[in-house]
Amino acid sequence: MSLFDHRLSMLAACLFTFATASAFNPIVQTYYTADPAPMVYNGRLYVYTSHDEDTTVRNFFSMNDWRCYSTDDMVNWTDHGSILSYKDFEWSRGDAWAGQCIYRNGKFYYYVPVNEKKGGNAIGVAVADNPTGPFKDALGKPLLRGFGYIDPTVFIDDDNQAYLYWGNPNLWYVKLNNDMLSYDQTLGVVQEPLTKEGFYIRHKDTIKRPSSYEEGPWLYKRLDTYYLLYPAGGVPEHLAYSTAKSPTGPWTYGDTIMHVIKKGGAFTNHPGLIDFKGKTYLFYHNGALPGGGGFKRSVCVEEVTFNPDGSLPLITPTSEGVKDPLANLNPYKRTEAETMAWSQGLKTAGNATKGVHVTRIDDGDFLCVRSVDFGKGAKQFKASLSGTWADGRIEIRLNSVDGTLLGTCAVDKDGKPAVWSTISCRVEKVKGVHDLYLVFKGSGASTLAFDWWQFK
Ligand code: FUB
């Protein structure tokens, strides 16, 4: 790297740090994530994402696995790691694109599109006993296969009938049987008519498709209305929706709900609308992380308020994200290091089966946990670390990366990789609710990994 490049990257890092002061979109900074599919289970919101690799191959989507994150406050996200790979489908050769997971009868069913080893698009289904896996191929073969069979969305209606929609350039659906692993063969695969009334018209009509519908459908119900959200218009995609009084239509075009996001250069988008703790949230993706773009996207979220007539409003993508946390975080309970509202310079490793921890810790890296309620006061900080780092330490700060320094915890000089030990240090007494910043400082190469922290 030349001195000029180095100065440029330092400047970019400063600007990035500055930009994050009150900005919490994208919600994941440790990986590029895309195609968000939210699911609520047991008081937590899980968001399942596809994953754009850090290295793009042949200037196309380079996607091998799916990841999962969860929250109970909509601002601090716990990373559950890589929970499913195309390699878990013995018959697949790659392209782990947009999927969705749903809970039914004690199991979690994850519908995902991949390409078959023998060629062609297919939809597989993986099943697990827990929302974060381990997931296993439920059928040992595709549930569905055909040209354009991508982006499945799954929905269970109030009468317990489940539906799977998918497709680009067409839109298809099946009625799933109760086992969630087969579908109504009498009805078969239904192709939805992409009429002007249902899905509007395409303005960028270079490839002569009949309507604005592109891909990535998302089915959602509110009161007695079904909403079908989808990326629309061809690339660059905007988000639009249609409504119906039944989950199988006929659909009536609604409107645009998010314009094309120009900043960041992602030419796709992908909706995931969900209710959680009395509020409604739209998940989508952009290319806003440093180095981001069309093949390095990032999941974001905005709160949504329906119009009084039940229509969806035009939603503005923000870098701020969710303004008001739904709960405060209790620092006197062990908090996983991979639970964070924002981070810089860090990665995570592992998965829900092996355990997830924070890694790639270098000088100046930090993580932020929002809305921490210290109550009447904390006096001690402890953390579980492995590995070591010359002169390594964690600065415990309030409200910003260079905010009030509560204390500094030194890293164990004799720490070994993969051997976890607990360090502790005294902190200035702190009361009330604050954003907590853990800032990493040290010199030379670090083998440090960080598993959890807790105040006393
Ligand atoms: O992420 C790969 C593909 O890009 C998805 O399947 C589409 O919905 C688009 O987001």
- Give span(s): CATH 2.115.10.20, the chain: 25-304
Q: Which of 35, 235, 258, 286 to mutate to test the pocket of ligand 1 (most atoms within 8 A of CB)?
A: 35
Which residue's CA is minimally distant from atom 1 of ligand 1?
Answer: 97
Please give all residues whose beta carbon lies within 6 A of any atom in ligand 1, as ranges.
34-35, 50, 61, 97-98, 150-151, 215-216, 268, 270
Which residue's CA is minimally distant from atom 2 of ligand 1?
Answer: 97
Q: Which of 65, 79, 151, 214 is catalytic?
A: 214
> What letter would DSSP give residue 235?
S
pLDDT digit string (tens) for the chain, length 456 residues:
333 333 333 334 433 443 445 799 999 999 999 999 999 999 999 999 999 999 999 999 999 999 999 999 999 999 999 999 999 999 999 999 999 999 999 999 999 999 999 999 999 999 999 999 999 999 999 999 999 999 999 999 999 999 999 999 999 999 999 999 999 999 999 999 999 999 999 887 656 788 999 999 999 999 999 999 999 999 999 999 999 999 999 999 999 999 999 989 999 999 999 999 999 999 999 999 999 999 999 999 999 999 999 999 999 999 999 999 999 999 999 999 999 999 999 999 998 888 999 999 999 999 999 999 999 889 999 999 999 999 999 999 999 999 999 999 999 999 999 999 999 999 999 999 999 999 999 999 999 999 999 999
Q: Of all atoms in ligand 1, which is nearest to the CA of residue 50? A: 1
| CA 391 – CA 370 distance, rounded (Å) | 28
Answering whether pTM is above 0.85, one says yes
- Give span(s): CATH 2.60.120.260, the chain: 335-455
| CA 233 – CA 253 distance, rounded (Å) | 13
* Residue environment code for 306-344, b if the CB has 16+ CB neighbours within 10 A, otherwise e: eeeeeebeebebeeebbeebbebbebeeebbbbbbbbbb
Which residue's CA is minimally distant from atom 3 of ligand 1?
Answer: 97
Is the dihedral angle over the CA atoms 278, 283, 144, 236 positive or is it negative?
Answer: positive
Displacement of CA 133 from its chain's centroid (Å): 16
What separation in angstroms does the CA of 15 have from each of 8, 9, 18, 19, 290? 11, 10, 5, 6, 11
Q: What's the CATH superfamily of 25-304?
A: Glycosyl hydrolase domain; family 43 (2.115.10.20)
Residue 25 CA to ligand 1 centre (angstroms): 20
- Is 302 designated active site? no
**Cβ atoms within 10 A of the Cβ of 361, count?**
25
Quickly name the fold that domain 335-455 has: Jelly Rolls (2.60.120)
Query: What is the length of the chain?
Result: 456
- Is 214 designated active site? yes
Residue 10 CA to ligand 1 centre (angstroms): 32
